C-alpha cells in the first residue's frame, strides 16, 4: 500500500477527550473516529487491526470445533419475554419499535436468539454436543461509555453458545473454551489471566473473566503473582479430551485470582505476603456455565437415549473483539506510539523513503515493496513528499513491527536500514536480503 493513496488521517494534537493511552493513540493514529458517545467508525488502519483480531478468534474457535454462523443485531422482544430477561435487563438494553408497533431490541447478547435457533432444529441427543458462535456487533447503553473502544455502547463481540446433554458435557465445553481462550490471547501476544468472577445478567454459577493486567483497567483484581508465570504456549491439546481440558483448567485456575466481586480477603491472606497482588485489569473475555437457565423456560429440549425429553445444558462465552484493539495498545506502546505484536499489526513493515523523488531511492523502495509483497508481507510504503522526520514520527505512531529506511546515503553503500519498532535496534542490510530476514521464524 502506498501511503500517498491510502487514507490515514493522523492527528498531530493529542485529543483532549482521551484519558488513556489506547484511546489517545487510536485517535491520533487515525484508527477510529467517534460517531456518537461510545459509537465508533473504524477507519482503514483500525479496521485492518480489527480484522486481524477477528481472524485469530475465528481460527482458534474452529480449532476447538466450534461452528460459525451469523445472527442479526436486531432481535424480537418476545424471545426475551420467554426467558424473562426483557424486563430484567433494564436501561442498558436499546429498545426499538418498528412501524408495525412490534417491540424489537438491538442485541446486547444472543442467548435467547441462539436458543430459538436450537429448539427449532435440534430434537435428538445424537446431534449433541454442539457449539455455535458468531462475531457480531452488540449494543449496551452503558451509563458511562468511556476510554474509546474499551467501554463502547456499540461493540464487536465473539459470542459462542454450547448445547450439551449433560452437565458433565457442558462443563467440558466450559473447560474447552477456557483452553481455547488462553491460546487465542497468547497468539495476540497478550497474557489474559482467567479469574473467578460474578455472572451478572447472563446468570449461572460458574464463570471466569479473562483479564489483561493494566493500570488503566476498569476492574480491580486480586491474585497470587505465581499465576503470571503460567504460559499456555503452543502446546498441542486434544479439545475432545475431557481430561486434557480439565487439566489445563486446573493448572490455570488453581491459584488465587479473583475480581473484586468474588474477592475473599480471608482466602487471599493465606497466600504468602510477597506473592499477594492487588492490581487493575481489562476484561477481554468471559465464559459462563448456566445449565438450563434458558433451555428450560424456552423449551429447548432433546430426546435423550431413554426417549425422554430433557432440557439441554448450556453455557455462553464471549470475547471483546473491539475492546481487544484497545487492550492490545494498553499493553504495547511507548511515548512515541503503538508497538503492534506481529499477528495483529495492520501492516508488517513500513518503508520510509527519506528522499522522495530521488531516482535511486524511489526505485529501491519500489523494488522492496514488490519483493516483500511477494514474500507474503503486508507493506505500507510512505511515498509522500514529506520530511523524513515526519515520516519517522508517523511510522512510530502507527507502530508497525519493522521499518525500512531507504536513502541515497545508504544506497551508495548498497544498504538500507532495518529498524525494530519494539527494541529500537537498527541494522544495515542489503535490500535483497530484507524479505528473507523478515520471513524467518
Ligand atoms: C458471553 C457471550 C456475555 O455477554 N453472552 C454471550 C455472554 N458476556 S459479557 O462478559 O457480558 O461480554 C463478553 C465480553 O464482551 C466485552 N464487552 C465490551 N466491550 C466493549 N464495550 C463494552 N461496553 C463491553 N461490554 C462487554 C468484554 O470483553 C466482555 O468480556
Which residues have CB under 6 Å of ligand 1? 109, 140, 142, 151-152, 155, 157, 159, 202, 283-286, 288, 316-318, 320, 322-323
Residue 441 has pLDDT above 70, yes or no: no
| Confidence tier at 234 by pLDDT (50, 70, 90) | confident
| Confidence tier at 212 by pLDDT (50, 70, 90) | very high
Instruction: Please tell me the predicted confidence (pLDDT) of residue 144.
Output: 93
- In this structure, the number of other CB atoms found within 10 A of the CB of residue 140 comes to 23
| Confidence tier at 198 by pLDDT (50, 70, 90) | confident
For ligand 1, the distance from its centroid to the CA atom of residue 303, given in whole angstroms, is 32
Instruction: Please tell me the predicted confidence (pLDDT) of residue 36.
Output: 97
| Confidence tier at 15 by pLDDT (50, 70, 90) | confident
Alpha-carbon span 74 to 96, nearest angstrom: 9
Residues of 265-304 as b/e, b for ≥16 C-beta within 10 angstroms? eeebeebeeeeebeeebbbbbbbbbbbbbbbebbebbbee
Tell which atom from ligand 1 comes closest to the C-alpha of 200: 11
**Test site for ligand 1: of 132, 320, 322, most ligand atoms within 8 A of the Cβ:** 320
**To 10 degrees, the CA torsion angle through 42, 48, 54, 58?**
150
Answer yes or no: are the C-beta atoms of 218 and 197 closer than 8 Å: no
Residue 135 has pLDDT above 90, yes or no: yes
For 296-306, the pLDDT digits (tens) are: 999 999 999 99
**To 10 degrees, the CA torsion angle through 358, 363, 364, 366?**
120
User: Model pTM?
Assistant: 0.97
**Test site for ligand 1: of 92, 318, 322, 325, most ligand atoms within 8 A of the Cβ:** 318
Instruction: Please tell me the predicted confidence (pLDDT) of residue 203.
Output: 75
Half-sphere exposure of residue 309: CA atoms within 13 angstroms, side-chain side:
8
Tell which atom from ligand 1 comes closest to the C-alpha of 284: 28
Amino acid at each position: 500500500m502506498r501511503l500517498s493513496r491510502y487514507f490515514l488521517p493522523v492527528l498531530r494534537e493529542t485529543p483532549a477527550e482521551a484519558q488513556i493511552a489506547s484511546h489517545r493513540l487510536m485517535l491520533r493514529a487515525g484508527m477510529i473516529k467517534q460517531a456518537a458517545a461510545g459509537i465508533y467508525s473504524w477507519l482503514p488502519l483500525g479496521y485492518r487491526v480489527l480484522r486481524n483480531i477477528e481472524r485469530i478468534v475465528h481460527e482458534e474457535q474452529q480449532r476447538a470445533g466450534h461452528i460459525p454462523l451469523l445472527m442479526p443485531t436486531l432481535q424480537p422482544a418476545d424471545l426475551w419475554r420467554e426467558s424473562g430477561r426483557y424486563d430484567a435487563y433494564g436501561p442498558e438494553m436499546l429498545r426499538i419499535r418498528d412501524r408495525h408497533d412490534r417491540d424489537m431490541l438491538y442485541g446486547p447478547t444472543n442467548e435467547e436468539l441462539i436458543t430459538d435457533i436450537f429448539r427449532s432444529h435440534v430434537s435428538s441427543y445424537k446431534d449433541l454436543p454442539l457449539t455455535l458462535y458468531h462475531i457480531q456487533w452488540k449494543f449496551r447503553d452503558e451509563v458511562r461509555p468511556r476510554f474509546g473502544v474499551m467501554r463502547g455502547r456499540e461493540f464487536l463481540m465473539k459470542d459462542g453458545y454450547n448445547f450439551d446433554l449433560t452437565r458433565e458435557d457442558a462443563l467440558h465445553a466450559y473447560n474447552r473454551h477456557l483452553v481455547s481462550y488462553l491460546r487465542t490471547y497468547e497468539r495476540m501476544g497478550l497474557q489474559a489471566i482467567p479469574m473467578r468472577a460474578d455472572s451478572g445478567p447472563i446468570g449461572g454459577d460458574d464463570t471466569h473473566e479473562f483479564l489483561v493486567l493494566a493500570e488503566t483497567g476498569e476492574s480491580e483484581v486480586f491474585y497470587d503473582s505465581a499465576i503470571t508465570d503460567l504460559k499456555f504456549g503452543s502446546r498441542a491439546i486434544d479439545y475432545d479430551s475431557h481430561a486434557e481440558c480439565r487439566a489445563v483448567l486446573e493448572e490455570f485456575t488453581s491459584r488465587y485470582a479473583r475480581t473484586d466481586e468474588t474477592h475473599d480477603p480471608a482466602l487471599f491472606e493465606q497466600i504468602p505476603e510477597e506473592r499477594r497482588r492487588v492490581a487493575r485489569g481489562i476484561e477481554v473475555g468471559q465464559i459462563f456455565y448456566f445449565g438450563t437457565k434458558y433451555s428450560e423456560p424456552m423449551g429447548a429440549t432433546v430426546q435423550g437415549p431413554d426417549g425422554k425429553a430433557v432440557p439441554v445444558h448450556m453455557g455462553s462465552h464471549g470475547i471483546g473483539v473491539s475492546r481487544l484493539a484497545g487492550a492490545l495498545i494498553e499493553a504495547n506502546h511507548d511515548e512515541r506510539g503503538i508497538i503492534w505484536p506481529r499477528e495483529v499489526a495492520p501492516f508488517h513493515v513500513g518503508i520510509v523513503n527519506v528522499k522522495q523523488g530521488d531516482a535511486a531511492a524511489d526505485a529501491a523502495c519500489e523494488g522492496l515493496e514488490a519483493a516483500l509483497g511477494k514474500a507474503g508481507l503486508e507493506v505500507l510504503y510512505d511515498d509522500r513528499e514529506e520530511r523524513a522526520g515526519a515520516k519517522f514520527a508517523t511510522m512510530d505512531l502507527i507502530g508497525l513491527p519493522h521499518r525500512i529506511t531507504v536513502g541515497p546515503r545508504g544506497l551508495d553503500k548498497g544498504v538500507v536500514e532495518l529498524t525494530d519498532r519494539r527494541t529500537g535496534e537498527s541494522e544495515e542490510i542489503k535490500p535483497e536480503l530484507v524479505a528473507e530476514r523478515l520471513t524467518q521464524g
